[in-house]
Chain A
Amino acid sequence: DVKVTQSSRYLVKRTGEKVFLECVQDMDHENMFWYRQDPGLGLRLIYFSYDVKMKEKGDIPEGYSVSREKKERFSLILESASTNQTSMYLCASSLGGLGNSPLHFGNGTRLTVT
């Protein structure tokens, strides 16, 4: 079974802090994704990566950056956390190719910015 592991289940940070959310997958997947989930809005794509050191902006990249130095690890960075970034963050991975493989999600990180 594919395992996608997010480093923290719950996280509380202060406004202005730099925040790192880590995600690791163990199935040699090429594609990795970061989503945020908010009530009434569903899941919205922040960034995705289709290869090491490659990244593409999703629908809501503002205020975020990402890093993929190794194939198995995809990090989401909040350069200066703000209260409107309080949300559930979900990491996902998929095998690769042109939209032809299922997504596998981690358990999520619930981030609160105070």
Chain B
Amino acid sequence: QKEVEQNSGPLSVPEGAIASLNCTYSDRGSQSFFWYRQYSGKSPELIMFIYSNGDKEDGRFTAQLNKASQYVSLLIRDSQPSDSATYLCAVTAQAGTALIFGKGTTLSVSS
């Protein structure tokens, strides 16, 4: 059974701080990695995807991938109250036959 693990939180950070969200996965052959944000009562929306080892930056968001450690993370710089949401990590299974979602980490940014 392929698994994606996330700390459920809540992760609480003050406004302006860096929020660090972590995800580990069990399928060593996974190739595609996604971070989705889900506000309460809404559908998931893509924040970033990453395919290669290293860092990928998009505005205040940085995704980090380490395939050797089977670890992917999302950093949110200058956190805002509007960033308060549940963040879902999703990993493609090696055979390309599934996208496995973690259960999500709830982030709370206080002003």
Q: A and B, one complex?
A: no
Q: Which residues of B contact A (CB under 8 A)?
A: none
A: residues with CB less than 8 A from B are none
